[in-house]
Amino acid sequence: MPDLQAAVDDFVIKLKRRQVEGSLATAKSTVLLLRQVVSHQRIPSSGPASSLIDAVKSVGSRLIAANPMELAVGNMVRRVLHIIREEEATIVAAQVGVTPVSDSDDDADVHGVPGLSAVALAAANRTALRAPSLHNLLESLPTSAGANVEPVPESDTKSRCKSSDKNSKSWKLKHGVIDAIGLLLGEIENYHSEISEQALEHIHQKQVILTLGRSRSLLHFFREAKKKRSFQVFVAEGAPRYQGHKFAKELAAMELQTTVITDSAVFALISRVNMVIVGAHAVMANGGIVAPVGMHMVALAARRHAVPFVVLTGLHKLCPLYPHNPSVVLNELKSPSQVLDFGEMSDCLDGTDGSPVHVVNPMFDYVPPELISLFITDSGGHNPSYVYRLVAEIYSPEDH
């Protein structure tokens, strides 16, 4: 346990200091840490799932608070919670007659706790109104008529008669969850190759492709397409971090014909481009994306000239939240030294001669779903209006 505590604290500090950067690295570290949490957690025989869920939630909320901008942390925490709930449901389905814990948890929460989050209420409504699933059928059995409101005593009495069953159930749950987390980890690590497999379908011979900044998935994507197609790439430099320069070097090393342009030249050249392909930092539940600054401009230019705007993303970047006020809430302001060198304008910056000059350096842009043509994910190509379905498949609404 103390090792675990130290590992969690260590990761929290790394997140706060932004020492872990990039959604892939953050997602992997989060999942590894949560797997440790799950394996160290002692499981009581009654309510195994809820104890796991509580443990993951408490660690998860610390991690999310450490770096709220890095949405991948929250995504992975919610994925793990969804895995726990699903494993619980499969085990219950295999062992008919045991009161399903998570269902009664929701009901108990709804009746008992005032001021419950609106989304959890909505989730409870959804489960109540859905077609009778296995859970609902079980709760309709006459013996468990009162089970909804009092989960613990019911399962305690049952556990006395079936204690060995319960123990094996919690063991099964824990190991099922750890296996599933291992699968999740594999999925995250391999998303590059899943996406690049689709490259040949989208890039055709002699096409001109435009991109902004740098994206690792895009690098793999191009590498795969290069094997059978010849095409050229325009890379917008992506001021003020100039990641586009680095990307252009990598593409040139792959012997791709690359051209570097300034961000301001995008509109002038977009009419000569067949397709825009970019990576994203995060995908929101309404289908909009959070991308490096300047992306919204490229998307508008692409829409104006009817050029398809394609986004490559792994499912770990898919966030179940809605962007309430995209320009403010989902943005981080980086140091202005990236825009202006130290000392360049120091006389006007501190306001000694009249009013000071402010320098704002936002890191991200929000691109609304109407401007995006296609998402290429590790589960295939999807319309932005389909994103809600993907969210429903990999997350539980109780965890939002």
Partner 1 sequence: MEEEEQVIGDFNRWRQRPELAEAVAAIKALTAVIQRSQASTMMGLEIELKNASEMLKAWDRSSISLSAGCDLFMRYVTRTSALEYEDINAGKSRLIERGERFGDISLKARETIALLGQDFVQDGCCILVHGSSRVVLALLKLAANNGKNFTVIVTEGGPKKTGMEVSKKLSAAGIPVTVIVDSAVAYTMDRVDMVLVGADGVVESGGIINVIGTFQVALIAHSMKRPFYVAAESFKFARLYPLDQQDLSISTGQEESSNPARDYTPPHYLTLLFTDLGVLTPSAVSDELIQLYL
Closer of 132 and 380 to partner 1 (Cβ):
132
Find where tokens 């325009």 sit: 234
Stretch that binds partner 1, among 25-33, 214-222, 282-290, 374-382 (CB under 8 A): 282-290
- Binding residues with partner 1: total (CB under 8 A): 29
Work out how close the CB of 351 gets to partner 1 at its nearest, in angstroms, rounded to a whole number. 26
Work out how close the CB of 107 gets to partner 1 at its nearest, in angstroms, rounded to a whole number. 10
In the chain, the amino acid numbered 214 is R
Find where tokens 């970019």 sit: 278
Closer of 141 and 200 to partner 1 (Cβ):
141
Tell me: does residue 6 bind partner 1 (CB under 8 A). no
Closer of 123 and 283 to partner 1 (Cβ):
123
Residues 308 and 275: beta-carbon distance below 8 Å: yes
Stretch that binds partner 1, among 60-68, 73-81, 124-132, 183-191 (CB under 8 A): 124-132
- The tokens for 371 are 């401007």
One of 58, 125, 143, 230 touching partner 1 (CB under 8 A): 125
One of 47, 100, 238, 397 touching partner 1 (CB under 8 A): 397
Closer of 154 and 398 to partner 1 (Cβ):
398
| Mask for 313-332, x = binds partner 1 (CB under 8 A) | ---------x-xx-------
Which 129-158 positions form the footprint of partner 1 (CB under 8 A)? 129-132, 137, 140, 142
Closer of 273 and 391 to partner 1 (Cβ):
391
Which region holds residue 354: left if phi is over 0, alpha if psi is between -120 and 50, else beta?
Answer: left
CA distance 212 to 192: 18
Stretch that binds partner 1, among 6-14, 83-91, 114-122, 196-204 (CB under 8 A): 114-122
Tell me: does residue 389 bind partner 1 (CB under 8 A). yes
| Mask for 234-273, x = binds partner 1 (CB under 8 A) | ----------------------------------------
Tell me: does residue 97 bind partner 1 (CB under 8 A). no
- The tokens for 152 are 């613990």
Tell me: does residue 68 bind partner 1 (CB under 8 A). no
Work out how close the CB of 367 gets to partner 1 at its nearest, in angstroms, rounded to a whole number. 13
CA distance 37 to 44: 15
Tell me: does residue 357 bind partner 1 (CB under 8 A). no
Tell me: does residue 118 bind partner 1 (CB under 8 A). yes
CA distance 95 to 139: 14
Stretch that binds partner 1, among 80-88, 216-224, 349-357, 385-393 (CB under 8 A): 385-393
Tell me: does residue 121 bind partner 1 (CB under 8 A). yes
Which of 22, 96, 84, 25 minimizes the C-alpha distance to 59? 84
Site residues (vs partner 1, CB under 8 A): 117-119, 121-123, 125-126, 128-132, 137, 140, 142, 285-287, 322, 324-325, 385-389, 392, 397
